[in-house]
C-alpha cells in the first residue's frame, strides 16, 4: 500500500524540520511511525521528548 501524498509530504517535512543536527544514519533508520509521531508532535510540548526517545532508541540499536 502506498501512503497518500499528504502523508508523504508530512514525513518529509518532519525530517526537514529537525531542530538540531542529527547523523544521517540515524535519520535513515527512522521509521514511518517515527516520522508520523514527530509530525503529530510538532509545535507541541512533547515534541522534544518524542524526538529524544526516537533518537535514543535508534542509537541504542546501532550500538548493539
Total count of domains within the chain: 1
pLDDT of residue 20: 82
With 0-12 / 13-18 / 19 or more C-beta atoms within 10 angstroms meaning exposed / middle / buried, residue 6 is exposed
pLDDT of residue 26: 93
For 2-52, how does the pLDDT look when each residue is reduced to its tens digit (9 = 90+)? 668 899 899 999 988 888 889 989 999 999 999 999 999 999 999 999 999
pLDDT of residue 3: 66
Angstrom distance (rounded) from CA 55 to CA 27 = 8
Residue 41: count of CB within 10 angstroms of its CB: 16
pTM: 0.83
pLDDT of residue 1: 57
Residue range(s) defining the domain that contains residue 28:
5-63
Amino acid at each position: 500500500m502506498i501512503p497518500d501524498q499528504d502523508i508523504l509530504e508530512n514525513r518529509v517535512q518532519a525530517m526537514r524540520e529537525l531542530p538540531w543536527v542529527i547523523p544521517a544514519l540515524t535519520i535513515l533508520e527512522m521509521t514511518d511511525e517515527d516520522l508520523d509521531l514527530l509530525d503529530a508532535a510538532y509545535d507541541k510540548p512533547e515534541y522534544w521528548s518524542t524526538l529524544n526517545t526516537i533518537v535514543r532508541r535508534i542509537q541504542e540499536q546501532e550500538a548493539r
